[in-house]
Amino acid sequence: MTNSVLSCAFILFLMPGFVSEAVSAEHQVLMLDSNDSAQMVFEPSLLRVAVGDTVTFIPTDWGHNAESIAGLSPQGSTSFYGKMDEPITITLEKEGVYAVQCNPHSLMGMVAVIVAGAATNLEKIRADSSLMNKDYRMKGERLQALFAQISKGT
């Protein structure tokens, strides 16, 4: 009987460590007309999360949405498309870098980048985004600046 009680107590002692690893975190990104650094922005524009975490995009200002940019996410990840002026919550199930845009303001460079776990696909999407965005200078410049921050570890 004493061994059973001690075993149960030991298991209960260890459980919080296991449970805390299994619980995902929740993050928020604001969709803004402007902040202190730029116009038409996501805040934060670079977000590092764990695989399995959720991110909610909140339309703080009118006229925004959040959507994945085709071809600029980890292979096998689920794309998403948020409705205009409505929050959208996504769960990041695959490790890697995800590029996000506000559709109506993408040409103005309203983009964000999320890193789930390690940036395993960074070089591929960096190269792919250069080809996709060659005609959209501002969008391409902002994406490349965010990718450079990831490379530097900031």
Summarize pLDDT for 42-62 with one digit per residue, the tens: 999 999 999 999 999 999 999
**Ordered structural domains, the chain, with CATH:** 24-152 (2.60.40.420)
Token digits of residue 151? 């490379």
Question: Which band of pLDDT confidence, cut at 50, 70 and 90, is reported for residue 40?
Answer: very high
In one-letter notation, the amino acid at residue 58 is: I
Averaged pLDDT, 77-105: 97
Reference 117, options 100, 145, 91, 94; nearest CA is 94
Q: What is the pTM of this model?
A: 0.83
Residue whose structure tokens are 């990041």: 92
The yes-or-no verdict on residue 7 having pLDDT over 70 is: no
Tens digit of each residue's pLDDT (9 = 90 or more) over 28-39: 999 999 999 899
